[in-house]
Amino acid sequence: MSAAAPVAVTGLGLVTAAGIGTEATWDGVCAGVSAATRNPALEGLPVDISCTVPGLDPARHVGRRSALMHDRFTQLAIVAAREAVADAGLDPAQWDGARVGVVVGCGLGGVSTWEEQHRRMLEHGPAKVSALLVPMLVPNMAAGNLAIDLGATGPNFVTATACSSGATAIGTAAQLLREGACDIVVTGGAEAGVSPLMVTGFAQMGALSRRLDEPAAASRPFDAGRDGFVIGEGSGILVLEREADARARGARVRSLLAGYGASADAHHLTAPEPEGRAVLAAVRAALEQAGTAPGDIGHVNAHGTSTRLNDAVEAATLRTALGDGAAVTSTKGVLGHTLGAAGAIEAALTVLAVERSLVPPTANLEQLDPAVELDVVAGGPRKTALDAALSTSFGFGGQNAALVFVAA
Amino acid sequence: MSPVYDKLVDLLVDRFAVDRAAIGPDVTFEELEMDSLFLVELLLVIESEFQVKIGEEAAAPTDTIATVVKVIANEIAAAAP
């Protein structure tokens, strides 16, 4: 195997339904209690539950002007990125912005803005449509506005691979560092897809849980009684640097991103390819780049959406790829499915698991699906030494991404 | 200054997060950090709030608040029966 040079993770920022901030999110997933609740904004729709970020005051968290001109997905990205950059001990006023890249995954963009302005046009005519419509809704604005906020003038773009977007962004960011295009990359994902139209669209696909009377029990990855995911929102941002650079400036290296693999099912719009061949290829590519043997992976933060199809195919594929030695969890049990942000939020949680030798539990796992032949952690967090861990992400369209993190 | 001026100031404060203390008749939109994009949005809001029609060219970032107050007042007068 020819391992690539690892990349250091020096900063983390998280905004999720479990709270604002990395520690709030970590505490939430370790508590293993789902953050899903009834959402008044979805009242009357076929599905009215979601995992929504509590207590976000845009005026206070991103500033009054930014609160007016940014869709929620951009606001979430700004909050997470500021935390990540501060966590990395970096000061944007001091850095050479030309050497700082921003790569942020986003599956949908400003869908709430789209819906609100479309409603205005239908009800009141074109004169009522905001001039800020376009700059608020286009999905590149998470990355674009982070550049403005952080003074980062290096390579800047959004990756859109549906629910893999955040993981694709992180893997791509590592490549930018290895090829020398920049010295620091602020990367991750952001999504605020809890809008009436989007929730209805996912519900019409049959992708969402209908356990509406008990929202906190609805997201139950790998459980025999699972019936779909709970839509969520959030952002996860990582600061990446070449390991040598991070060590040279005395940064705290939280863990190392050692491997990234990507593939496409080339099979179906939404259903995973039943044999999981492409997923297997992505996992194996990530392991190979990391120079890690399958048996070395002590933990998997699985995609684990809590849909019948995903969890069954994923479990079988992970079993084939790794055997049954890894402690598997799906943090979507607590946080719901944050779509384009999920891969990044879960990557950040994998970094924390490796750093802290602690695997969070899978919420609501009462009876493991007998077809899932994996060691899925349930009940409470599990203390275990971790040298290497894997985070898997799969998007509609059959787009797969796998990230391997190793202890610093 | 005038009811139109007072209402415009309220709009700038409430809808565009402008600091009320920074606003004055001779202050330009540029000085309030309102760029051309914000100005387009402001003109849309003005049309809606004052029930007048004004073109996108009615104001530039270098114009003062008083200039736009005058444009609005003229349109209101022209529309009066």
pLDDT tens-digit map of A66-103: 888 999 999 999 999 999 999 999 999 999 999 999 99
Tokens for A69?
């001109």
Catalytic entry in A51, A163, A182, A299? A163
Band (A1; pLDDT cuts 50, 70, 90): very low
Q: In this complex, do A68 and B48 lie within 8 Å of one another by their Cβ atoms? A: no
Q: Is A70 among the catalytic positions?
A: no
Q: Is A299 among the catalytic positions?
A: no
User: In terms of CA atoms, which chain B residue is nearest residue A135?
Assistant: B37
B81 to chain A, minimum CA–CA distance in Å? 24
Beta bridge partners of A329: A301
Nearest to A65 among B17, B40, B47 (CB): B17
DSSP code of A129? Answer: S
Interface test with A, best of B12, B13, B37 (most A CBs within 10 A): B37
Residue partners of A307: CB distance under 8 A and separation at least 6: A207, A226, A228, A229
In chain B, the percentage of residues whose pLDDT exceeds 90 is: 72
Chain A residues with CB-CB distance to B46 below 8 A: none
* Residue A352, pLDDT above cutoff 80: yes
Q: What is the average pLDDT across A341-354?
A: 98
* Residue B80, pLDDT above cutoff 90: no
CB atoms within 10 A of CB B81: 2
Q: Quote the pLDDT of residue A2.
A: 58
The predicted-structure confidence for A357-399, as pLDDT tens digits, reads as follows 999 999 999 999 999 999 999 999 999 999 999 999 999 999 9
- Tell me the longest C-alpha to C-alpha distance in chain A: 63
Q: Quote the pLDDT of residue A136.
A: 96
The predicted-structure confidence for A113-153, as pLDDT tens digits, reads as follows 999 999 999 999 998 899 999 999 999 999 999 999 999 99
Q: Is A163 among the catalytic positions?
A: yes
A118 to chain B, minimum CA–CA distance in Å? 16
Q: In this complex, do A68 and B33 lie within 8 Å of one another by their Cβ atoms? A: no
φ, ψ for residue A319, nearest 5 deg: -65, -45
* Residue A107, pLDDT above cutoff 50: yes
Tokens for A7?
């990349």
DSSP string, A256-314: EEEEEEEEE--S-SSSPPTT-HHHHHHHHHHHHHHT--GGGEEEEE----S-HHHHHHH
DSSP code of A395? Answer: E
Amino acid identity of A68?
L
Q: In this complex, do B44 and A132 lie within 8 Å of one another by their Cβ atoms? A: no
Tokens for A232?
């969520």
Q: What is the average pLDDT across B26-38?
A: 93
Q: In this complex, do A127 and B37 lie within 8 Å of one another by their Cβ atoms? A: no
Torsion on CA atoms A18, A20, A26, A31, rounded to nearest 10: -30
Residue partners of A114: CB distance under 8 A and separation at least 6: A133, A137
Q: What is the average pLDDT across A302-326?
A: 96
Q: Does the structure's ipTM exceed the value 0.85?
A: no
Nearest to A130 among B17, B41, B47 (CB): B41
Q: What is the average pLDDT across B30-58?
A: 90
Q: What is the mean pLDDT of chain A?
A: 96
B38 to chain A, minimum CA–CA distance in Å? 8
* Residue A353, pLDDT above cutoff 70: yes
C-alpha angle with apex A81: A245 to A88, nearest 5 degrees?
A: 30
Judged by DSSP in three states, B44 sits in helix
Burial group, residue B54, by CB count within 10 angstroms (0-12, 13-18, 19+): middle
Q: In this complex, do A132 and B41 lie within 8 Å of one another by their Cβ atoms? A: yes
Q: What is the average pLDDT across B21-41?
A: 93
A124's enclosing H/E stretch is helix A111-124
Q: Cβ(A196)–Cβ(A15) under 8 Å?
A: no
Least confident of A79-83, A98-102, A349-353, B31-35: B31-35
Chain B residues with CB-CB distance to A59 below 8 A: 17
Least confident of A197-201, A295-299, A373-377, B45-49: B45-49
C-alpha angle with apex A346: A4 to A29, nearest 5 degrees?
A: 140
pTM across the whole model = 0.95
Q: What is the average pLDDT across A299-317?
A: 96
Tokens for A131?
């001039």
Residue partners of A361: CB distance under 8 A and separation at least 6: A30, A32, A329, A333, A377, A378, A379, A380, A381, A382
